[in-house]
Chain A
Amino acid sequence: MDRKFSTLVAGAGISGVRAALDLAELGYRVLLIDKKASAGGILSQLDYQFPNDHCGMCRTLPMIDRNNGAQFCLRKGIFHKNITFMPGCEIETVKGTPGNLSISLKRSPLGVDPEKCTGCLSCESVCPVTVKEDFNGNLSQRKAIYLPVPHNIPNKRVIDFESCTKCGECVSECPTNAIDITKDVGIETIDGIGSVILATGTELYNPDGVDLYNTSKIKDVVTATAFERIMSSSGPYKGKIQRPSDGKEIKKVAFIQCVGSRNLMIGADYCSSVCCMFALKEAALLAEKTKSSDSAIFCMDLRTFSRDGERYKERVKEKGVRFIRSRIHSVEKDDSGNPSISYVDADGKQKSESFDLVVLSTGKSQNLTHPSFIENEGVFGISETPDFKEISDSMINSSFASSKAIQIAKEYDYETKKSSTQINDDDPKLHIILCSCGNLFKENVDLTKITEDISRIYGIGITTIDQACSLEGWSELKSIIDEKGVNRLIIGACNPQIFSTKLSDNSLLTEIITLAEHISDTESVDEATKSILSEIASSIGRLKKYTPQKVRSMNISKRALVLGGGISGLSSAKTLSDSGVPVTIVEKSDKLGGNLPFISDETVIKSIKNLIEKVSSDSNIDILFNSELSSHKGVPGKFESVISKENTELIVQTGSIIVATGGGKASFDDENERVKTTFDLSIELMEKKVDAKNIVMMQCKDSRVEPFNYCSRICCGKALDNAIKIKEQNPDAKITMFYRDIMAYGDIEKKYTEARRRGVIFKRFEKEKYPEVISNDNGFTIKAFDFILNEDIEIKADLLVYSTGVAPQVDNLEKTLKLKTTVDGFIKEVDFKFRPVDTGKEGIFICGLRRNPANASEAEKEGVSAAQRALRLLNSEILISSGQVAHVRHSICSRCNACVTACPYTARFVSVEDRKVYVDDISCQGCGTCASVCPNNATIIEGFEEKGILDSIEAALG
């Protein structure tokens, strides 16, 4: 039986990639499939992400056991030697049991053999079929044979068989016979798979289906994704921000929120969770790029419930973007051809306004369900239903799923393979392989001159291979390496990146040259030849001077320290222990469970109790009560922490630390027993009836305003639960909820609908005007402004409930562990989107309420995700350092410590024993910042030695 792949990951969007990398980083082999012809999912269309309005996707890539061949922009494709990517595939059936699943895949033909395609474009030029390019939101056109994602490598064409007429023009035109249009959809069965992770994501709502505002005919109404493409440099207008109908520059845009979401008429009783942030980001980008300021977001609520969302929204507002609370009536073209929106505003007045462009914030498509095989044992979904999630939530959910897959891979003993290889450090034996890429380079470059010059000047041999990317070419290449005993290789080809991943197994040093970049339509063969020669010379310079270091290994302390015995800490500890890592939990109080007493959901309570049970009885987990971390030192893999416990101190050696000290209810004091917090009320309601008749709920008490300017994310849901419960107990109770935005993201929207159905009254207030409360003998009078009546109102209440939000623990850990915090005191992750549980200090991870507001199940998943990250370090007893790290030449180091402060990974430290500066190989990422600040040249970056770079600069100018 073939047991090659421990896991099959279906869906190669960012969630699938995260899950696949989690497994691959531990050495397991993964089969990654996607029904599309390329990887990357929706993120391949998006250049910018909230909250820094840039990308950062590459930060998802492995940091320990880095594969030097795969150090590229992740949007170009996923290259990891433990991951095999199969495009055009979907799962048909899953049979068997975990550890031995048999999966049949439906494989759609791509039409082009990627081994043969050289990306020469001749097929595209003869293809007679032109269709709209979905990648660019249907705003540009492509052929039936095309490149699915422009920035992907390798840039192999595929055929879109839905529009292909099978005329056969391309088949005869292709110089390498790469095209086959006769193949049909095939079924392929793969056996011996340990488990399946379903990361197929969801589909976007198609606004043309049910044309809610009759906009399908108006050209200047586009979806949010299409607008993102309009703003992209690689988009339909090459970065010129113009509108589709007449090419006029776009300055003023209207965003219509909740298109296809929160709409009972079409059965969409949910919130798609990401569209508000998406619209805010796009509005901000537009304002920035065009220096315009008159855009508007038409919304019901603006759901900025992620930790930094509130402040982000305010920054966008400062750029002049307006938020208009409204119901859209219709969208039509005005007399000058601009789309114009008619709407009813918050005061109930009918208004209309014209814009350059209207963007529909489309959410997820309704009625999506997971395929039935999700029920099969050994199949794990990233989410319960096909759902939209903000990137960091997706990352956390993915790791939650991959941790289960890892359990299975371990249990059934799948083979693991790490990628660090010892680079051959014999005397440099260089060779150059150039791919002539069919006839492309033969015609455009003087290959003879290159060969002669290089051998004359440097005495280095060159071999030309006809098509290095084909199967034959590849074996030719390998045999040349073996034959000549080469240990340094320069490859020049159209897309040489593919080779570096393939070659990373060998103990070879490779330099890659993208030949295509030197050929231009406007310049002569001479020019191209000269510029290739100079690049080869430049690479020779670098490779010759490369002195590979011995791969070092380090024994690690295979134990994890979990700070905090709350929900996230418990789930972390459990995951680690299940993977065979011993754990020490340090808990400040005398019991486990953290915020358990404030949880009112019976199922959640049960599962947490269950978790406490398991952790307490786990012999692999030590629990220290009434204790705290007092100091800490060491490097990842070998931390030494001092724990103080009731006047004694003990030292714990661990390889990794997980910060899960949590947080809790924000402080709130009110003597009056008729005043409660939402949390307290929810606990009370578990046991008894509330006798009040007139209940007023006030959201965002001391929240989303300075100094606590963040949304606590869980209060709205809890308040809605409370309201529904009271109504169940006493349908006559009168409940009024004052709110700013109801943050009923995802399926919490259903509760919002339910509460309204039961007659709960919702009244919105503005940030600046918190409703005034006057208490009197019989209760309270609440004075507020009613937007619908457009006047001041007074409401009487006999019970007042405040949603007071949550706050992070005050524990000084940021100082002890030297971590960064947000202005609100949450511990900050290194990259909000792509590395949500990494602190930026290798080996130390953060999860739960100490990082951001979260509900119990979110905190639990974060805990698992953090454990998952820690496992990269703790999975084996020995850690082998990647190549390309920094070293210190102690003999010339003046110990000025400039490098220690400059290192972004705190990988450098001064040893207490000998006062010398050392580099921790595991934390070092080889960025070279240290080398450039060193006044004495005492720092060397492996692979980027100064001598080599200076030589290559010289050669480039030669």
Chain B
Amino acid sequence: MSEHKPKIVALVCNWCTYTAADLAGTSRRDYPSEIRLVRLMCTGMIDSKYILKAFLEGADGVFIGGCHPGDCHYIDGNLKAVKRIEAIGIMLEQFGFEKERLKLEWIGASEGPEFQENMQEFAKKIGDMGKVQTADRMIL
């Protein structure tokens, strides 16, 4: 299994998690290189399509990082995102994706180390899970 290098997209909000990533990487990157960050203004902006698109484009995992509840720059975008992401998780499962491949975490602006930990953990887990099995068979 170790040969497969997973592909992971991290959709992060501009205000908190992006800041944390930035803080973690101010000098050097310290999270796995298979993770690609895509910065959005808020997790509330994350459309189900973005997540599906990522999986269809071959992502093995999608990480979503936003501000802690109560902390969202746009008041409660993150809380609205929770519900949507839960729903997508269920949907993905029905398509045969393990729901662990989609993960939502709150990472505050000063939480550089948390960002790093989360990234390493997620990359490891996705790496261990191996390639998405369904993707090959899926025609959408």
Chain A contacts to B: CB under 8 angstroms: 47, 52-56, 58-59, 71-73, 75-76, 119, 121, 150-151, 153, 155, 232-234, 238-239, 495, 514, 516-521, 523, 527-528, 530-531, 534-535, 538, 830, 840, 884, 902, 904-905, 925-929, 931-933, 941, 944, 946, 949-950, 952-954, 956-958
Contact = CB atoms under 8 A, between A and B. Distances in A.
B105 interface: no
Contacts of B19: 72-73, 75-76, 151
A946 B54 CA distance: 13
B27 A516 contact: yes
Contact of A233 (B7, B54, B113): B113
Given A53-B70, A929-B77, A957-B58, A941 B26 contact: no
Nearest to A951: B53
Interface string B63-82: 00001111101111100110
Contact of B57 (A73, A514, A957): A957
The B interface is mostly helix, strand or loop, or mixed, namely loop
B47 A902 contact: no
Given A73-B15, A931-B45, A902 B80 contact: yes
Given A233-B110, A238-B113, A953 B53 contact: yes
B53 A929 contact: no
B42 A55 contact: no
Contacts of A902: 80
20 contacts: A47-B108, A52-B71, A55-B71, A71-B41, A72-B15, A150-B26, A151-B23, A151-B109, A234-B113, A238-B113, A239-B111, A239-B113, A516-B29, A517-B21, A517-B22, A527-B33, A927-B77, A928-B41, A931-B47, A957-B59
Interface of B: 7, 9, 14-16, 19, 21-23, 25-30, 33, 36-38, 40-42, 44-50, 53-54, 57-59, 67-71, 73-77, 80-81, 84, 108-114
Given A151-B19, A932-B84, A232 B110 contact: yes
Given A535-B37, A927-B41, 9 more contacts: A58-B73, A119-B26, A521-B28, A528-B33, A531-B33, A830-B75, A904-B75, A929-B45, A941-B45
Contact of A953 (B54, B68, B69): B54
Contacts of A71: 14, 41
Given A953-B50, A956-B9, A957-B58, A944 B45 contact: yes
A151 B110 CA distance: 7
Contacts of A954: 53, 57
B36 A73 contact: no
Nearest to A949: B50
Given A71-B14, A519-B28, A949 B40 contact: yes
A155 B59 contact: no
A953 B27 CA distance: 25
Contact of A121 (B23, B27, B29, B76): B27
Contact of A523 (B33, B54, B69, B111): B33
Contact of A155 (B26, B28, B45): B26
A53 B70 CA distance: 8
Contact of B75 (A521, A538, A840, A946): A840
Q: Please list the 7 inter-chain residue pairs (A to B) with the smallest Cβ-Cβ separation, ordered nearest first.
A: A928-B45, A927-B74, A517-B25, A52-B70, A956-B36, A54-B71, A929-B44
A953 B73 contact: no
B76 A904 contact: yes
Given A73-B109, A929-B77, A944-B41, A957 B36 contact: yes
Contacts of A56: 70-71
B80 A75 contact: no
Contacts of A531: 33, 36
Contact of A538 (B23, B38, B69, B109): B38
Given A929-B42, A931-B47, A950-B49, A234 B71 contact: no
B28 A520 contact: yes
A926 B29 contact: no
A904 B15 CA distance: 17
A902 B23 CA distance: 31
Given A47-B110, A119-B27, A944-B40, A59 B59 contact: no
B14 A72 contact: yes
Contacts of B57: 953-954, 957-958
Contacts of A953: 9, 38, 50, 53-54, 57
Contacts of A59: 73
B9 A957 contact: yes
A21 to B, nearest CB: 16
A534 B108 contact: no
Contacts of B33: 518, 520, 523, 527-528, 530-531
Contacts of A950: 49-50, 53
Most A-side CB within 10 Å, residue of B33, B40, B42, B48:
B33
Nearest to A929: B44
Contacts of A514: 22, 25
B109 to A, nearest CB: 5
A36 B111 CA distance: 24
Contact of B49 (A121, A521, A523, A946): A946
Contacts of A150: 23, 26
A233 B112 contact: yes
A517 B29 contact: yes
Nearest to B80: A929
A576 B14 CA distance: 35
B54 A234 contact: no
Given A518-B29, A531-B33, A956 B38 contact: yes
Nearest to A527: B33
A460 B111 CA distance: 36
A516 B26 contact: yes
Given A927-B45, A953-B57, A55 B74 contact: no
A175 to B, nearest CB: 15
Nearest to A541: B38
Contacts of A239: 111, 113-114
A53 B44 CA distance: 21
A346 B19 CA distance: 47
Contacts of A928: 40-42, 44-45, 77
A958 to B, nearest CB: 8
A516 B108 contact: no
A371 to B, nearest CB: 33
Given A55-B109, A73-B15, A927 B50 contact: no
Contacts of B44: 904, 927-929, 932
A46 to B, nearest CB: 9
Given A904-B77, A932-B47, A953-B54, A535 B36 contact: yes
A523 B30 CA distance: 10
A653 to B, nearest CB: 28
A161 to B, nearest CB: 24
B85 to A, nearest CB: 11
A956 B34 CA distance: 10
Contacts of A521: 28
Contacts of B21: 517
A75 B28 CA distance: 20
Contacts of A518: 29, 33
B42 A75 contact: no
A295 to B, nearest CB: 22
A836 to B, nearest CB: 15
Contacts of B69: 54
Contacts of B67: 54
A438 B54 CA distance: 36
B30 A929 contact: no
Contacts of B109: 47, 55, 73, 75, 151
A793 B39 CA distance: 66
B29 to A, nearest CB: 4
Given A929-B77, A956-B38, A73 B59 contact: no
A520 B30 contact: yes
Nearest to A530: B33
B29 A234 contact: no
A711 to B, nearest CB: 23
A393 B131 CA distance: 55
